[in-house]
Amino acid sequence: MTATVPPPPVLQPGGRVLGTALDPPAPSRRGRVRSRTVAAVLLVLTVAAYLLFRTDGAADSSDAASFRFFDSVRDWVDANRDTSPFFLYGFNYVRLGVRLLVDTVHGALTGLGFAGLVAAVTAIGAVLAGWRTGLLALGGFLAFGVLGLWEESVDTLVLTLSAVLLSVLIGVPLGILAARVRWVGATLRPVLDVMQIMPTFAYLAPMTLLFLIGEPAAVIATMIYAVPATIRITALGISEVPPTAVEAATALGSTRWQLLGKVRLPMARTTIALAVNQTIMLALSMVVITALIDAPGLGQNIVNALQRVNVGAAFDAGVAIVILAVVLDRITTGAARRTRLHRPARQRRTRWIVAGAALAGVVLIALVPVRETDLPAYSFAAPVNDLVGWIELHWYDVTEGLKNGISAGVLDPLETVLVTTPWWLFVAAVAAFGTLISGWRAALIAALAAAGPAALGLWQHSMQTLATVLVAIVITMAIGVAIGVFCARHDRLATGIRPLLDAAQTMPSFVYLLPAVALFGASRFTAIVAAVIFAVPPVVRLVERGLRDVPPTVVEAALSAGSTPRQLLWKVQLPMARGGLLLAANQGIVMVLAMVVVGGLVGAGALGYDVVAGFSQRELFGQGLAAGLAIVLLGILLDRLTQGFHHSKRPRG
Amino acid sequence: MTPMIEIAALWKVFGPRADRVVGTPLADLPRAELRARTGCLAAVRDVSFDVRPGEVFVVMGLSGSGKSTLVRCLTRLIEPTSGDISIGGESVRAMNPKRLRELRRRQVAMVFQHFGLLPHRSVLDNVAYGLEIQGRSRAERHRRAAETLALVGLQEHEHQYPDQLSGGMQQRVGLARALATDPEVLLFDEPFSALDPLIRRDMQDEVRRLHAEVGKTLVFITHDLAEALTLGDRIAVLRDGELVQVGTPEDLVGAPADSYVADFVRDVPRSDVLTLRWIMRDPAPGELCEDEPLSHRTVIRDAVHRVLRAERPIAVVDGTERLGVIDADQLLPALISHHRQVPV
Ligand SMILES: Nc1ncnc2c1ncn2[C@@H]1O[C@H](COP(=O)(O)OP(=O)(O)OP(=O)(O)O)[C@@H](O)[C@H]1O
Ligand SMILES: [Mg+2]
């Protein structure tokens, strides 16, 4: 669920996210004061209206019209899956094709056998990214065997690679088109925007409807989840090719295809390699989640263990996922970095020889009859469960106090208020405040999205999820801004923490549930903790970058005027970094929502649980689909409300 | 002699509905007003000139005067709005895409201000690019590229990459790339303005040498007057897209068409550019002259020695015909004052 994480810094030198070309003129002082008054009046009005009109917050019916509608859609699809031309000539073929792809990849990987696959990954790592990475890959893949998770790991790898293959086949050409053909770019942009704020869960149910549960649906959902990044980053790379080089090649008489093949693609190759890297990381993160729709692999172990709140049992699988993520990330970033090097022809030839030798080696090793079961076995389950038991025993007061304090003191009251707000008042408030923050266009979309949950008959669950999200985002921002400010002011700390942040951003979201469950058991608060851990790293990043992007000349001027460090921070740096802070809030919110929904698995209930229940229980299908839709609407609502931040209130200067 | 390049009534208008400007009263508006009224910008306005084979034709003008646009129109890197262009007697605007590519591949090559080298290719492969896209074999194009690199003095650097070279060397690669396809015409768009003055002089010498050696037709864009004067057989001056004057360096310095050109050439040391023709006077009746006359093509500075030593005025002749006489009274003002308007 790292879709909203900004691509690696190379792609956005100097905080390019916050371009200044479209900056609106700064509002006058009077305008700002007036909008503050308007906000105050609106707030009073909203509170008064709430007190007058609040409802008793009845529980959602389990038989809303929307549920019945989705159920009937499902019934129609089930009845016509083998007769309707849509399925007969469309979706069913797609399903067969993807199944074929998955089987081929699976056959290729398992055909190598344990020894062969380990050797192959080691060789690929060494050739593409250097011998250190090769060793890392070797150790990592051996570890799958030691953990007794070899087959699950291979399954996860197979699904990930299949989805990445599809994403690259579809995404790279689309990215090129988006960069080169104006209308394609203009059409794709809003679509990608929406796709990138969609929480993972929302993709699952529609996929099962169209492709049944299982591997094809999982691969397609993963592809849909990952492909926006492929398209975006490829398009970025192609459009950043210097026009001077293109012009010079045109002046020599290149055809369009020669320009693409000999100039644009080679010059964008580093960025495209990074696009593949991002695609792989996103795909891995999603593949783990598709365990919910019956995809095999490590995700299954985690889902099963989490549903039994058995952290130890999930831990091994969590470790394996992290190892897989790190190995794949290292290999692809290493390969991307190498595309930037120039090698003399001789060295290039040596590399071919090395690659050939490695291939021969792999073939030889594949013949060695070593199996994963021959390795010594080790499992973290027992020690981890001991640790969790110890924590429960000794920290019970602290964890329980924290959990209950926040639940009773903040979460419950907020939830009550939201649930008992009449839907029309909520919509009106969203529209009014949205107009103030982001302008009427965004507010209109947000208000429509806000009306959705009521229409779907999921008001209570939606507001519960929203309350959890709001609490989590406040905590996330508090922690993230504090650490970000610290990092911006202490270089040593920043360099120390950066690898940690890097690692955190490559980790699949599921993994974050484990420490939260270990500490807090299954509850709404667990989801909040997981969401905070998940969303803090990018927030820290954006805040730090925002602060560091404050021009040094301004800081110098403030210092020479005699500001204390504290004054400097509050009066100069934070106000000037507002753009970065607000962007961080926007990103944080989208990530928090995604994680809170996943938290439905570990006791957060509400919409996330509805979605999961929809997969497992036939009679709850319609509700699950409706809940998925409600999640998307919440995502749009939150994103649009905060989107105005970085469109209308970027740092000026 | 038929011209190598002929340009007639060429227009390039940027902006919305640019094609509705030329041929209407709008076309007569000054640039700023046209822009205010229609949002269109006339980068090149009604430009006509010829370039003779083997000539170095320089186009000069301030920044924004439309030089780059003009030179890109020649091979339709920028599509002209109206007018005619012919190269080697063939109309460029009538060419289909295939023929146009042929033109760019074999007849006309270009050197750019920002080099436009391909960073992922070695120097040799950069130079061979033009031949590669023509489908020449690897051995042939590498041989030819190596020859051209030797011509610009870079034979040692074949296997390096552009970012490992200095700016001057990079532009030599750009030059070699343009020469590798052996075109008839070379277009230069401010090729040396990104370089240091010393290197720039080197490169100018290089261009002069190459011109003497390979004898191509050169169209050279610059905003540097000194460069224009040293390189150009003829110079065209552009202002706001319009052609103000076309002539030899001497014409420009001696007889600027208007105050814009006059401003341009104000700081040029006249005695270095003008010939005696520009400062001689009619002989007084019965005046006696030195025995040895001077050719009217002699540059003033070269005549200083003789004129100041002579006791009497010296006759200025074209062959055997006497055009006028010259003595210290005419010479000294031209030597001393840069700013004085030279009498026409
Ligand atoms: N693609 C374009 N779209 C709109 N206007 C353009 C475009 N290209 C150039 N212009 C405008 O046309 C005018 C002439 O530009 P041009 O680049 O030809 O000038 P130049 O003489 O080469 O200047 P310089 O010496 O700075 O390179 C400028 O005012 C420029 O802003
Ligand atoms: Mg120019």
Query: Could you write out the DSSP letters of every residue in A481-521?
Result: HHHHHHHHH-HHHHHHHHHHHHHHHHS-GGGGHHHHHHHH-
Cα A481–Cα A484–Cα A487 angle in degrees, nearest 5: 150
For the domain B270-336, what is the CATH code? 3.90.1280
Claim to verify: residue A405 and residue A380 sit in the same structural domain: no
**Alpha-carbon span A100 to B302, nearest angstrom:** 87
Judged by DSSP in three states, A8 sits in: coil
> Structurally, how many domains does chain A consist of?
2
C-alpha of A142 from chain center: 28
Claim to verify: residue A108 and residue A216 sit in the same structural domain: yes
Residue A12 has pLDDT above 60, yes or no: no
Q: Is A341 on the interface with B (CB under 8 A)?
A: no
Please report, for chain B, the start and end positions of each structural domain, with discontinuous segments joined by +: 52-80+94-265, 270-336
**Which chain A positions have a beta carbon within 8 Å of B75's beta carbon?**
251
Domain that holds residue A410: 395-648
Contact B133 A342 (CB under 8 A): no
Claim to verify: residue A344 and residue A466 sit in the same structural domain: no
Please report, as a single letter, which amino acid is at residue A628.
G
Q: Which residue of B has its CA nearest to A265?
A: B120
Residue A381 has pLDDT above 50, yes or no: yes
A385, A416, A436: which is the final residue of a domain? A385
Closest-CA distance, A259 to chain B, in angstroms, reads: 10
In 3D space, the residue among A459, A404, A393 whose CA is nearest the CA of residue A426 turns out to be A459
Per the domain annotation, does A45 fall within a domain?
A: no
Q: Is A344 on the interface with B (CB under 8 A)?
A: yes
**Alpha-carbon span A475 to A516, nearest angstrom:** 15
A348, A366, A385: which is the final residue of a domain? A385
Cα A14–Cα A15–Cα A21 angle in degrees, nearest 5: 105
Superfamily for domain range B52-80+94-265: P-loop containing nucleotide triphosphate hydrolases (3.40.50.300)
Q: Report CA-CA distances (Å) from B197 to A299, A309, A355, B117, B227.
A: 65, 75, 49, 22, 11
Per the domain annotation, does A3 fall within a domain?
A: no
E strand or H helix at B45, and its extent? strand B41-51
* Ligand 1 centroid – CA B64 distance (Å): 5
Assigned token pair, A448: 């429509």
How confident is the model at residue A15, as a pLDDT?
26
**ipTM of predicted complex:** 0.84
Contact B133 A345 (CB under 8 A): no
Beta strands across the sheet bearing B108-111: B108-111, B185-189, B217-222, B56-61, B234-239, B242-247
Contact A251 B75 (CB under 8 A): yes
Assigned token pair, A272: 């495209």
Ligand 1 surroundings by CB, under 6 angstroms: B 14, 41, 43, 61, 63-69, 223
Claim to verify: residue A404 and residue A506 sit in the same structural domain: yes
- Per DSSP, which regions of A72-150 are E strands? none
Claim to verify: residue A357 and residue A406 sit in the same structural domain: no
Claim to verify: residue A218 and residue A366 sit in the same structural domain: yes
| pLDDT, tens only, A324-356 | 888 988 888 888 887 777 666 667 777 778 878
Q: Report CA-CA distances (Å) from B26 to A348, A494, A645, B302.
A: 60, 61, 44, 50
Claim to verify: residue A458 and residue A311 sit in the same structural domain: no
Closest-CA distance, A238 to chain B, in angstroms, reads: 14
Is B104 or A517 the better-scoring residue by pLDDT? B104
Q: Report CA-CA distances (Å) from B234 to A185, B6, B218, B221, B339.
A: 47, 15, 11, 12, 23
Beta strands across the sheet bearing B314-318: B294-295, B314-318, B321-326
**Alpha-carbon span A464 to A606, nearest angstrom:** 6
pTM of the model: 0.81
Judged by DSSP in three states, B59 sits in: strand
Nearest atom, ligand 1, residue B66 CA: 18
Q: Which of B110, B114, B121 is opposite residue A251, by nearest beta carbon?
A: B110
**Alpha-carbon span B254 to B269, nearest angstrom:** 11
**Which chain B positions have a beta carbon within 8 Å of A252's beta carbon?**
104-105, 109, 129-130, 133, 177, 181
How confident is the model at residue A634, as a pLDDT?
85
Contact A244 B181 (CB under 8 A): no
Closest-CA distance, B283 to chain A, in angstroms, reads: 56
Per the domain annotation, does A60 fall within a domain?
A: no
Claim to verify: residue A535 and residue A641 sit in the same structural domain: yes
Q: Per residue of chain B (344 residues), give pLDDT as tens.
A: 788 999 999 999 998 887 888 878 877 888 888 888 888 888 999 999 999 999 999 999 988 899 999 999 999 999 999 999 999 999 999 999 999 999 999 999 999 988 889 888 899 999 999 999 999 999 999 999 999 998 888 888 988 898 889 888 999 999 999 999 989 999 999 988 888 888 888 888 888 888 888 888 999 999 888 889 888 999 999 998 999 999 998 888 888 888 888 888 887 878 888 888 888 888 888 788 888 888 888 888 888 888 888 888 888 888 888 888 888 888 887 777 555 444 44
Claim to verify: residue A356 and residue A420 sit in the same structural domain: no
Count CB pairs under 8 A between chains A and B: 71
Per the domain annotation, does A7 fall within a domain?
A: no
**Which chain A positions have a beta carbon within 8 Å of B103's beta carbon?**
253
Q: Is A262 on the interface with B (CB under 8 A)?
A: yes
Q: Report CA-CA distances (Å) from B224 to A177, A616, B167, B205.
A: 41, 77, 18, 15
**Which chain B positions have a beta carbon within 8 Å of A248's beta carbon?**
110, 112, 115-117, 174, 177
Contact A342 B117 (CB under 8 A): no
Best residue among B38, B68, B187 to mutate for probing ligand 1, ranked by most atoms within 8 Å of CB: B68
How confident is the model at residue B58, as a pLDDT?
95
Assigned token pair, B155: 């034979």
A385, A415, A450: which is the final residue of a domain? A385
Claim to verify: residue A349 and residue A408 sit in the same structural domain: no
| Residues sharing a CB contact under 8 Å with residue B181, sequence separation 6 or more, in sequence order | A252, B105, B106, B109, B130, B131, B134
Assigned token pair, B28: 């007569």
Per the domain annotation, does A114 fall within a domain?
A: yes
| pLDDT, tens only, A468-485 | 888 888 899 889 888 888
**Which chain A positions have a beta carbon within 8 Å of B115's beta carbon?**
244, 248
φ and ψ of A562, to 5 deg: 95, 25
Per the domain annotation, does A41 fall within a domain?
A: no
Per the domain annotation, does A239 fall within a domain?
A: yes
CATH of the domain at A169: 1.10.3720.10
Claim to verify: residue A468 and residue A340 sit in the same structural domain: no
Per the domain annotation, does A530 fall within a domain?
A: yes
Claim to verify: residue A426 and residue A479 sit in the same structural domain: yes
